[in-house]
A and B are shown apart, each in its own frame.
Chain A
Amino acid sequence: MSDIAHVVEFLERKFTSQIRAHHVMTEVEGDFKPFPDDLHPKLGSALRAEGISSLYSHQAEAFASIRAGKDTVLVSQTASGKTLSFLLPILDDYAKSESSFGVMLLYPTKALSRDQESTLGHLLKSAVDSRKLGTFDGDTPREERRNIQRIADFVITNPDMLHSGILPNHNRSWKSFLSRLKYIVVDEVHTYRGAFGSHVSNVLRRLLRVCEIHGSHPIFICSSATVGNPGEHVQALFHRPFNVITNDGAPRPQRDLYFVNPPLVKSHGEAWYRKGTGSVSIPLIREACKEGVRTICFCRARQQVERLYRAVIDRHPELEEKVKPYRGGLLPNERRQLEKDLFTGKLNAIITTNALELGIDIGDLDLCILSGHPGTMASFWQQGGRVGRKAARAVMVFVAKDTPVDQYLVHHPEFVTKAPIEEAWLNADNPYILLQHLPCAAHEHPLRQEEAHFDSQAYGMGISVLFEDKTLLPYHDCWRYALPDYPARGVNLRGMTDYNVDIYCGTEVIGEIDPIGARGTLYKDAIYQHLGRRYMSMELDLEKKLCRVEEVDVDYYTEAVWEKRLELTDVEEEKDIFKAPVQFGYVHVNKQPKLYKKIRERTYENVGYGPITLEAFEYDTTGFSMLPPESWKKAMDADDKKYTSAALYGLSYIMRHIAPSFCMADIDDIETDVYLHEKDPLKWESSLYLYDAHEGGVGYAEKVFEKLPEVFALCQQVLDECECEAGCPSCVPPLPPGVNDEELEGFLIESDAAIKCTRSLLRALNLGEVDVPEIVVRKSARGPAVEAPPVDEEKEKLGRRLSKASEVLKKKRGRQH
């Protein structure tokens, strides 16, 4: 029996009752085509020398399209020879062309571009006698930069470098390259979505404008993992139609997909809870290491990766060198070492976030564990595609979490193979994002009254705003940049904030994190985990962008509890859904981490609280506020006024989990909450808010607002199909998060109101029916077992007084000395 078969046998034996489905994707044979007739003979022989005697059908199709000068997007799975698809026609052109031309290769991350350099260099060298390839990013040394600018024809870079390094210097060091730029290759184009995609779209507009100034008109060649709307997506990104190639001709081995649902267990008291994904992934990773099966395990959050790593090696010190965590926020040399170790086989298993989702070559893997749904079906397949690149058999194990989407998937495994892949979405004319790029564009070259690459309406509005605040000044029928600074420096493509907080221990920087993440994870006394070591945050200084941590030995981790205030400041659009008024517009958000919870590892018990004293984080974004239908609310209020709140909190919970799948957002891109809304002047009512978690808004809430009936229908379906009796985290938990009213909290814990009221509200929203639910109150019910025991007020008070007294005594002693 092969090693992977041993692990499969272990999985099937140990988790028999928990395996909800086993789906076998049969082996797919490849569709091969001969080399194109007009392929340059040098390239043909170079390919044959590498053992390639034919092309996959999609590679042949791409060749024809690109050589015909069409903007082309290639949609195919990982390991289907994408690099060759776009490189072959370019190299063919390069070999036949009399004068050399420029090719820009854009990769979404620095890590990926570094990885590609070796692959491309190899191909280039074998095909064209040229070493005119260079990687231009933040890590490129100064001398090498000059060399690349001077002689390179193939430049590998990333959007951030293009934005802040290449475009601002287009008139000087990059003039020659840009004036002969012929192809722009954009790999992993599906990652350019949401806020990031909107930024990149504007950077590309700037690039095309600058190219036009220098007299070049490059064409785009993109490759994408599967998204629902590849053509529409690239058109939104590049503002031009594309030739879309979707026929994947690459062969695939047999792949087994297991759906595992950890069991519901009853804790002491009445509450039920579902075991965590660790109950499956930990033994599976250990077994895979024992058998030498190369494994990758995906988690959602960085700190979750660290916790899982600790749990795997807990009492298994022999695994410390076999398994490692890999995530964003690690230092570059740490990341590269891990990639190398995995590639060479020194490491057996890696636990990671979506940081390893893209095409970094980490060798062939056999087993992929998904700890919970990654948020989109596209990511699901992208992560799953990490295995079975070359092997004869590959196994994917999806372990469901206690969330509505995960539970839906384990109950409807066919959804995974049949459901359409999400659409990628971005809004390049997002006013907030456009307003950041117009000054950069003006800095590069004065802006004309009309610019062909920008949407005229959004552009005109942007210009007038920037003129009023004196960022732009009129100049010869154009607008020139009027400030003395360097505008690209203040625009970060990947987030609301343009800097990172350095985390240091002693005198050594051990990692970095964005400032919003820092507020939520590095407040004073927070536990921060890094490559299996635990640190406690001693001091977070957001102004100095520094966080001092010290290594500690504790058995808990911390989670922040945030307080939020919301206000719909401007209404842009209104509509009624079965008489439920919904208003879309600008939302002002005021968020503040108030306190943190200490949660014990393994048992997840709540073992204490502490205060967080950081300034509030405020921003404006787009979103909507929905009031329940008047008639439904009246009927509810007649019975009990708490029903409306119960339904709103329930709906808020389920919407937050369902909505991201409608707009290809991550769960963290969208926020939902129940807050007061001024229905009539001075008349406030509880309302459901859903808004973008990005300053200025990114269009997620807008998309959800457009598709509200479908969103409500899916919410209803998830509720109806859940196997629980009185609500569970998979649909609507008895006590949805966010409730901060004690009376309501008590009522929800003791009753099945949350799910019944939510169901009733959804019926009203989907069908327009009003039915008052019969709520069952169980007096014997206690709080959920996973909650901490109530804080003993007296004991706390005594403790506080004693520590105060001890402090006074200490001071006194100090004085006497």
Chain B
Amino acid sequence: MIRGALQHLPGVGRERLRLLQNAGITDWRQLAEDVPLSGIGPVTQKKLQAEVLRCEAALAEGNIRYLVSGIRKSDQWRVLGHFFDHASYFDIETSGLDIDSRITVICCLHRGKLYTFTKNENLDEFVDLLDDVDLLVSFNGASFDVPRVVSEFHIPELPCPHIDLRWLCYYESLRGGLKTVEKSMGIERPTDLVGVDGEEAVWLWEMWERGGNGKARERLLRYCAADVLSLRLLAGTLLECRGYTLDFPRGGAVWRELLSISSSTPKPVVKPSLREATDKAQERLRSHWVRRRTMERRDRGTM
């Protein structure tokens, strides 16, 4: 099915793509033959054929980077579908939403296993894990997670190819954030994590770092991990809709890896000396919840 990606080939625009599809061409290998194509000159055809050969070579070598960088965003789901077993999913949480905020937690589902990386503990190890990743998948990572990873670790670029699931959703007419998309697809998170969002993640981190609250740390990690597990389910479900047959956990098994997040927390690096900070964070959390509940009630029309 990956060979159905034609739009990135030289000389193929939206109109030409329609003509090709009408002519029954659905595989780039069909273009490698020297059959005259109406409207495509010999020079462009040579370029087109060369690109097809390069894509074939990349497929044979498993050169995912070449395919991801070459193939149009609207066709990238084909790469993900083809290399679904190679995909690693990741998500980050930060200390705030402004430009200066730092990464606090990273979760990565890599080769079926869940890895968590926490600031002040093992955050740097994520860079080592990246070297082992064949294809990195995120939701909205192109504009949020990846630039932050690059600047957090002072590396010039990601060492592996990256696909943003947001585009796949976009072409399926699924707009909005991950939670909205989940909702419209009927994906349900474990009950304790329903309603947790990026803003709460900021308070949770603050409660752990400044207040030493181990429960907050655990909740944050579980939340981040749930995002990542949800990504796999989302990708799998959408790709199956497009005709792929894939093997991935479904139903309750989706969240099984959450159990691997230990409830035993390490000693906080910053001692819980700031009682005030904890109280303040909890207060902010409370008002956040009140606000949220008010809004929900308003949505339901009870107010």
Q: Do A and B bind each other?
A: yes
Q: How far is the CB of B124 from chain A (nearest CB, A)?
A: 7
CB neighbours of A482 from chain B (8 A): 124, 154
Contact A443 B154 (CB under 8 A): yes
Q: Mark B86-111, 1 if CB is under 8 A from A, else 0.
A: 00000000000000001000000000
Contact B154 A476 (CB under 8 A): no
Q: Does A302 contact B (CB under 8 A)?
A: no
Contact B156 A481 (CB under 8 A): no
Cβ < 8 Å to B, chain A residues 477-491: 480-482, 484
Output the nearest chain A residue to B154 by Cβ-Cβ distance. Answer: A481
Q: Does B161 contact A (CB under 8 A)?
A: no
Contact B155 A446 (CB under 8 A): yes
Given contacts A475-B127, A482-B124, contact A442 B159 (CB under 8 A): no
Q: Does B153 contact A (CB under 8 A)?
A: yes
Q: Give the complex CA separation of A480 and B128 in angstroms.
A: 13
Output the nearest chain B residue to A487 by Cβ-Cβ distance. Answer: B154
Q: How far is the CB of B255 from chain A (nearest CB, A)?
A: 32
Contact A484 B102 (CB under 8 A): yes
Q: How far is the CB of A119 from chain B (nearest CB, A)?
A: 37
Contact A475 B155 (CB under 8 A): yes
Contact A476 B153 (CB under 8 A): no
Which of A446, A473, A476, A484 counts the most chain B CB atoms within 10 A?
A: A484
Contact A480 B154 (CB under 8 A): yes
Contact B102 A446 (CB under 8 A): no
Q: Give the complex CA separation of A769 and B152 in angstroms.
A: 66
CB neighbours of B102 from chain A (8 A): 484
Q: Give the complex CA separation of A443 and B156 in angstroms.
A: 10
Q: How far is the CB of B118 from chain A (nearest CB, A)?
A: 14
Which of B127, B131, B152, B154 counts the most chain A CB atoms within 10 A?
A: B154
Q: Mark B145-174, 1 if CB is under 8 A from A, else 0.
A: 000000011111001000000000000000
Q: Give the complex CA separation of A442 and B153 in angstroms.
A: 11
Give chain A's interface residue range (CB within 8 Å of chain B): 10 to 19
Q: How far is the CB of B98 from chain A (nearest CB, A)?
A: 15
CB neighbours of A443 from chain B (8 A): 154
Q: Mark B105-145, 1 if CB is under 8 A from A, else 0.
A: 00000000000000000001001000100000000000000
Q: How far is the CB of B155 from chain A (nearest CB, A)?
A: 6
Q: Give the complex CA separation of A442 and B155 in angstroms.
A: 9
Q: How far is the CB of B123 from chain A (nearest CB, A)?
A: 10
CB neighbours of A171 from chain B (8 A): 156
Q: How far is the CB of B75 from chain A (nearest CB, A)?
A: 28
Given contacts A475-B127, A482-B124, A484-B102, contact A442 B154 (CB under 8 A): yes
Q: Mark A160-172, 1 if CB is under 8 A from B, else 0.
A: 0000000000010
Output the nearest chain B residue to A479 by Cβ-Cβ distance. Answer: B154
CB neighbours of B153 from chain A (8 A): 475, 480
Contact B124 A476 (CB under 8 A): no
Q: Give the complex CA separation of A446 and B131 in angstroms.
A: 16
Q: Mark A437-451, 1 if CB is under 8 A from B, else 0.
A: 000001101100000
Q: How far is the CB of B300 from chain A (nearest CB, A)?
A: 43
Q: Give the complex CA separation of A171 and B153 in angstroms.
A: 15
CB neighbours of B127 from chain A (8 A): 475, 480
Q: Give the complex CA separation of A482 and B128 in angstroms.
A: 13
Contacting residue for B159 out of A445, A473, A476, A481, CB 8 A: A476
Cβ < 8 Å to A, chain B residues 47-73: none
Q: Give the complex CA separation of A661 and B153 in angstroms.
A: 47
Contact B156 A445 (CB under 8 A): yes
Q: How far is the CB of B152 from chain A (nearest CB, A)?
A: 8
Q: Give the complex CA separation of A445 and B154 in angstroms.
A: 7
Q: Give the complex CA separation of A476 and B132 in angstroms.
A: 12
Contact B156 A473 (CB under 8 A): no
Q: Give the complex CA separation of A480 and B149 in angstroms.
A: 13
Q: Mark A58-87, 1 if CB is under 8 A from B, else 0.
A: 000000000000000000000000000000
Q: Give the complex CA separation of A443 and B151 in angstroms.
A: 9
Output the nearest chain A residue to B155 by Cβ-Cβ distance. Answer: A480
CB neighbours of B155 from chain A (8 A): 446, 475, 480
Q: Give the complex CA separation of A445 and B153 in angstroms.
A: 11
Q: Give the complex CA separation of A371 and B159 in angstroms.
A: 62
Output the nearest chain B residue to A473 by Cβ-Cβ distance. Answer: B124
Contacting residue for A446 out of B124, B152, B154, CB 8 A: B154
Q: Give the complex CA separation of A473 and B131 in angstroms.
A: 15
Cβ < 8 Å to B, chain A residues 423-446: 442-443, 445-446
Cβ < 8 Å to B, chain A residues 381-412: none
Output the nearest chain A residue to B102 by Cβ-Cβ distance. Answer: A484
Q: How far is the CB of A470 from chain B (nearest CB, A)?
A: 10
CB neighbours of A445 from chain B (8 A): 156
Q: Give the complex CA separation of A670 and B154 in angstroms.
A: 39
Q: Give the complex CA separation of A49 and B223 in angstroms.
A: 72
CB neighbours of A480 from chain B (8 A): 127, 153-155
Which of B124, B127, B156 counts the most chain A CB atoms within 10 A?
A: B156
Cβ < 8 Å to B, chain A residues 447-476: 473, 475-476
Q: Give the complex CA separation of A446 and B155 in angstroms.
A: 6
Q: Give the complex CA separation of A446 and B124 in angstroms.
A: 15
Q: How far is the CB of B179 from chain A (nearest CB, A)?
A: 29
Q: Give the complex CA separation of A445 and B127 in angstroms.
A: 15
Q: Give the complex CA separation of A442 and B156 in angstroms.
A: 10
Output the nearest chain A residue to B152 by Cβ-Cβ distance. Answer: A484
Output the nearest chain A residue to B103 by Cβ-Cβ distance. Answer: A484
Q: Give the complex CA separation of A171 and B102 in angstroms.
A: 19
CB neighbours of A446 from chain B (8 A): 154-156
Q: Give the complex CA separation of A779 and B37 in angstroms.
A: 116
Q: Give the complex CA separation of A445 and B155 in angstroms.
A: 7
Q: How far is the CB of A438 from chain B (nearest CB, A)?
A: 13
Q: Give the complex CA separation of A473 and B154 in angstroms.
A: 10
Output the nearest chain A residue to B100 by Cβ-Cβ distance. Answer: A486
Q: Give the complex CA separation of A484 and B120 in angstroms.
A: 11
Q: Give the complex CA separation of A269 and B171 in angstroms.
A: 99
Q: Give the complex CA separation of A481 and B153 in angstroms.
A: 7
Q: Mark A203-229, 1 if CB is under 8 A from B, else 0.
A: 000000000000000000000000000
Output the nearest chain B residue to A483 by Cβ-Cβ distance. Answer: B154
Q: Give the complex CA separation of A480 and B151 in angstroms.
A: 11
Output the nearest chain B residue to A213 by Cβ-Cβ distance. Answer: B156
Q: How far is the CB of B209 from chain A (nearest CB, A)?
A: 13
Q: Give the complex CA separation of A57 and B102 in angstroms.
A: 58
Q: Mark B228-253, 1 if CB is under 8 A from A, else 0.
A: 00000000000000000000000000
Q: Give the complex CA separation of A482 and B155 in angstroms.
A: 10
Output the nearest chain B residue to A484 by Cβ-Cβ distance. Answer: B102
Output the nearest chain A residue to B156 by Cβ-Cβ distance. Answer: A445
CB neighbours of A484 from chain B (8 A): 102, 152
Q: Give the complex CA separation of A481 and B151 in angstroms.
A: 10
Output the nearest chain A residue to B147 by Cβ-Cβ distance. Answer: A172
Output the nearest chain B residue to A171 by Cβ-Cβ distance. Answer: B156
Output the nearest chain A residue to B119 by Cβ-Cβ distance. Answer: A484
CB neighbours of A442 from chain B (8 A): 154
Q: Give the complex CA separation of A480 and B154 in angstroms.
A: 6
Q: Give the complex CA separation of A119 and B152 in angstroms.
A: 42
CB neighbours of B152 from chain A (8 A): 484
Q: Give the complex CA separation of A484 and B123 in angstroms.
A: 12
Q: How far is the CB of B120 from chain A (nearest CB, A)?
A: 11
Q: How far is the CB of A167 from chain B (nearest CB, A)?
A: 13
Q: How far is the CB of A667 from chain B (nearest CB, A)?
A: 42
CB neighbours of A481 from chain B (8 A): 154
Q: How far is the CB of B130 from chain A (nearest CB, A)?
A: 10
CB neighbours of A475 from chain B (8 A): 127, 153, 155
Q: How far is the CB of A142 from chain B (nearest CB, A)?
A: 14
Point out residues on B near A: beta carbons under 8 Å. 102, 124, 127, 131, 152-156, 159
A sample of 22 cross-chain residue pairs with beta-carbon separation below 8 angstroms, ordered by A number, consists of: A171-B156, A442-B154, A443-B154, A445-B156, A446-B154, A446-B155, A446-B156, A473-B124, A475-B127, A475-B153, A475-B155, A476-B131, A476-B159, A480-B127, A480-B153, A480-B154, A480-B155, A481-B154, A482-B124, A482-B154, A484-B102, A484-B152
Nearest 5 CB-CB pairs, A to B? A481-B154, A480-B154, A443-B154, A445-B156, A480-B155
> Could you list 4 further interchain pairs (A-B, Cβ under 8 angstroms) beyond the known A446-B156, A476-B131?
A475-B153, A480-B154, A481-B154, A484-B152
